[in-house]
Amino acid sequence: MGTASVREDSSPNEHGKAVQLESKKDVNGSAKILRPHGPVHRFSNVPEKEMYPEQPLEANYTPITEPSIGTFDEDSPWAKKTILCLDGGGVRGYSSLLILRALMKEIQTLERSEDPNAISSAYSPLVNLPLENSLDSTSNDNKPNPGYLPCHYFDYIAGTSTGGLIAILLGRLRMSVDKAIEEYEMLSAKVFEAPPSRLKRSWTKYNSIARREYLREHFESMRPMRPSYFEKSHQFKSDPFRCRTIVCSIKSTKNKDFQTPFLFRSYDHIKNAVSPNIILERNPSDSHAFEIWQVARATSAAPSYFGSINLFDDRYYDAAEDINNPSLEVINEISLISGGSHDAIDVLLSIGGGNAHGNMPKTKFGGGGLLQEMTTISAVVHDRVTSESKAHFFAYHRLDVEEGLQDVGLIEWKPKSSGARTIKRIKDATDRYLRRADVRSQFLQCAEALVRKRTQRAQTMRWECFAIGTRYKCPEKDCPSPNERYQNRNSLMDHLRMQHDHAPLDAEHFEEMQTLLDKGRTCSD
Ligand SMILES: [Zn+2]
């Protein structure tokens, strides 16, 4: 029960006055809030533009005007978004994961040098989160994983084709990069196995059925260990206040007379009535009731792997030939969500599929033509995103292994049993790329920006909802709205004061209120 108080740095409040904060580090790990010293102010509970009316989290919530507890500017770290985009690249998508593993390692070093207490990316100096909540969300053993998860650094993780599969693993399933690499290796062994040339046609037909079944079973077996309040663990739709996932595909009518890019979203995108980019608003609507495995199938539905998939009267194909680099689609999506603003992005990290150089030899399966096309599309998108980033002042980083992957086939996995030879080739080329001074410099800038963002966010009340899906419900027995869920402690505290006449948060009532708030805290239900 050892409780030690740690004095934090003073943080300026909105009036420029210092608020000294003291954190309660409870080794038992229950949530504790900072004790305020001196003047306190209440942060504004301004709803996000992308809040969804059909999910009235705080429908009965009426802001109060008297001060309750708060920290420094609560909203600003959340205003601009961080985005991770992953190109398609067949088996070379493995290099995207290796780049991300190196990035998360850099991030870990930076985080721990700034605060040795930051043993996981869920860490907050404001609310002492239980250690168990930093478990890798899909691990089935019970060992704590003091890991740094991409879903804690990015608001959106998007991908096409094999990049789409990785986006599902890191975004929707909230895996660590190491866990995603493990899953990707298992998938690759089954999916990227090239056919013996003399049996190509019959082998492909036979194997595509086996591959489909394998992919389905594999993604059906992976469930987030701790689904949030809004989530059904097998569905693609997830808690909109946590990392969001976008997966690109091509939708076609069954007779193929009409084809259009389609975005699978883990959140609702309500049709935008006023945007000038309305023509590029991809399939706006509530998020559909797709299951995670269906989205995985649709984004990787290349003829070489599985063939198309029919879902709800439409047919879906892999989008590698059209939007292999999804960055522009995602920039457009964020702009539409933000009411047409192009200034809603802070950092965009785009990782290529190792196709940076166009001179690919024709392979016996998934040949040079497709590779050339993917490469050209990705390069054009890269140029346009560069211009966008300059015009709208966001940090844009593009990492793509430029040399050494040209002759690794899209569906090469050698030897069949382990893929060890292919893995080594991809690993060597990625290591060489990451050692380059210009790449290293870009890499560091990106890691620093992401750590800065997370560190600022972790000092806000909203962090625990984003990081581990926390919600609060009223612990009072006679509550007139017992099913209401509150997104943070302040909202529940305001409700307790308004509805149940609790005393304001002053030194005398501090512990009493914290106990009540802890009672109402829930990570998933
Ligand atoms: Zn109540």
The residue-averaged pLDDT of 107-133 equals: 80
Q: Distance between CA atoms of 329 and 398, rounded to whole angstroms?
A: 16
Mean pLDDT of 53-67: 31
Q: Angle, to 10 degrees, between the axis of helix 420-435 and the axis of helix 437-457?
A: 90
Q: How far is ligand 1, taken at its centre, from the CA of residue 67, in Å?
A: 19
The residues pairing with 398 across neighbouring beta strands, listed in sequence order, are 350
Cα→Cα distances 321→223, 249, 298, 317, 409, Å: 30, 10, 14, 10, 16
The tens digit of pLDDT for each residue in 408-436 reads: 766 677 777 777 888 888 999 999 999 99
Asked if residue 452 has pLDDT above 60, the reply is yes
Q: How far is the centre of ligand 1, averaged over its atoms, from the C-alpha of 40 (Å)?
A: 24
User: Which DSSP string corresponds to 15-64?
Assistant: TS-EEEEEEEEETT----PPEEES---PPP-PPPTT--TTS-TTTT----
Band of pLDDT at residue 225, cut at 50, 70 and 90? low
Catalytic residues: 161, 318
Q: How far is CA 287 from the centre of its chain?
A: 16
Tokens of 293: 């495995």
Does residue 361 register a pLDDT over 90? no
What does the alpha-carbon distance between residue 282 and residue 280 come to, in Å, rounded to a whole number?
6
Those residues whose C-beta lies under 8 Å from the C-beta of residue 451, and which sit 6 or more positions away, are 107, 110, 111, 114, 153
Mean pLDDT score, 345-370: 64
Q: Residue 305: which pLDDT band, with cuts at 50, 70 and 90? A: low
Mean local confidence (pLDDT), 355-382: 58
The per-residue pLDDT of the chain, averaged, comes to: 75
pLDDT for residue 148: 92
Residue 107 pLDDT exceeds 80: yes
pLDDT tens digit sequence for 467-491: 988 899 999 999 999 989 998 888 9
* pLDDT of 314 over the 50 cut: yes
Distance (angstroms) between ligand 1 centre and the Cα of 33 equals 20
* Three-class secondary structure of residue 349 per DSSP: strand
Cα 146 to middle of ligand 1, angstroms: 35
Q: How far is the CA of 239 from the centre of ligand 1 (A)?
A: 23
> How far apart, in Å, are the Cα atoms of 91 and each of 85, 205, 221, 379?
17, 20, 22, 19
pLDDT tens digit string along 125-159? Answer: 877 665 444 444 444 443 434 589 999 999 999 99
Write the single-letter amino acid at 263: L
**Percentages (nearest 5) of helix, strand, coil residues in the chain:** 40, 15, 45
Q: Can the peptide bond before residue 475 be classed as cis, meaning omega within 30 degrees of 0?
A: no
Q: Are strands 81-86 and 156-160 parallel, antiparallel or unpaired?
A: parallel
Q: Nearest to residue 400, comparing CAs of 415, 416, 385, 420? A: 385
CB atoms within 5 A of ion ligand 1 belong to 474, 476, 479, 499
